[in-house]
A and B are shown apart, each in its own frame.
Chain A
Amino acid sequence: DGGITQSPKYLFRKEGQNVTLSCEQNLNHDAMYWYRQDPGQGLRLIYYSQIVNDFQKGDIAEGYSVSREKKESFPLTVTSAQKNPTAFYLCASSPRTGSEQYFGPGTRLTVT
């Protein structure tokens, strides 16, 4: 069954801790993306990767980091430098850059 999985669904962390969100896809897609969704603001791009071992900053990359060591995996680390980390995080992939994107179920991160 092809798709994008994100784990965990809910994540709680204390302020000052780094946390890594998982994103895996078995669609054989080249491009992968991380977005952040906040109420009333739509989705904003954090990082994207068009190919393995390469990634670029999106519009709100500060306080986040990513890696793309395997085609199917694109983990996102929310560092302690991110000033407002509590949000809903969505991972997406697309078969090629510029085509439609398919989204995972999301991870809701709460930092207190």
Chain B
Amino acid sequence: AQSVSQHNHHVILSEAASLELGCNYSYGGTVNLFWYVQYPGQHLQLLLKYFSGDPLVKGIKGFEAEFIKSKFSFNLRKPSVQWSDTAEYFCAVNRGYNQGGKLIFGQGTELSVKP
């Protein structure tokens, strides 16, 4: 079955630590890739997206992600986290128009940043 897997369910970091959240997907064809963030009590927001081109994608708030096609991965990174980055992070994949643009989400990773 088609799936998206996030490696960590809960990550706890201190402020200024570096962050890397893993995401792997199981599709073999062309995909569009996304990271979304859900801050406590807020909407799900788009952090960054990859459709094509440079596999290193920069998003909002200092986040970036690297698409590695050979590894079916799209890991999210941030060099130095802040307390305000505490949130739940979701990786998602869609297969474009022919699949109705359906997003398949990973299970989510809860990030807690200690001040």
**Residues in B neighbouring A99, C-beta threshold 8 A:** 32, 101
- Chain B residues proximal to chain A, CB less than 8 Å: 4, 9, 32, 34, 36, 42-46, 49, 90, 92, 94, 96-97, 100-108
Report if A48 contacts B (CB, 8 A): yes
Most-contacted residue by chain A among B36, B43, B97 (CB, 10 A): B43
Secondary structure of the B contact surface, majority rule: strand
**Residues in A neighbouring B108, C-beta threshold 8 A:** 40, 42
Contact segment of A11-19, A62-70, A75-83, A102-110: A102-110
Restricting to A40-82, which residues have a CB under 8 Å from any CB of B?
Answer: 40-45, 48, 50, 56, 58
Interface residues on A, range: 20 to 34
Q: Are the C-beta atoms of B107 and A101 separated by less than 8 Å?
A: no
- Chain A residues proximal to chain B, CB less than 8 Å: 31, 33, 35, 40-45, 48, 50, 56, 58, 90, 92, 94, 96-106
Q: A42-B90, A42-B106, A42-B107 are in contact. Are A100 and B49 (CB under 8 A)?
A: yes
Docked pose: A43 CA to B68 CA in angstroms? 24
B42 to chain A, nearest CB (A): 8
Docked pose: A98 CA to B32 CA in angstroms? 8
A-B contact pairs, 13 of them (CB 8 A): A33-B102, A40-B107, A40-B108, A41-B107, A42-B90, A42-B106, A42-B108, A43-B92, A44-B105, A45-B103, A50-B101, A99-B101, A104-B43
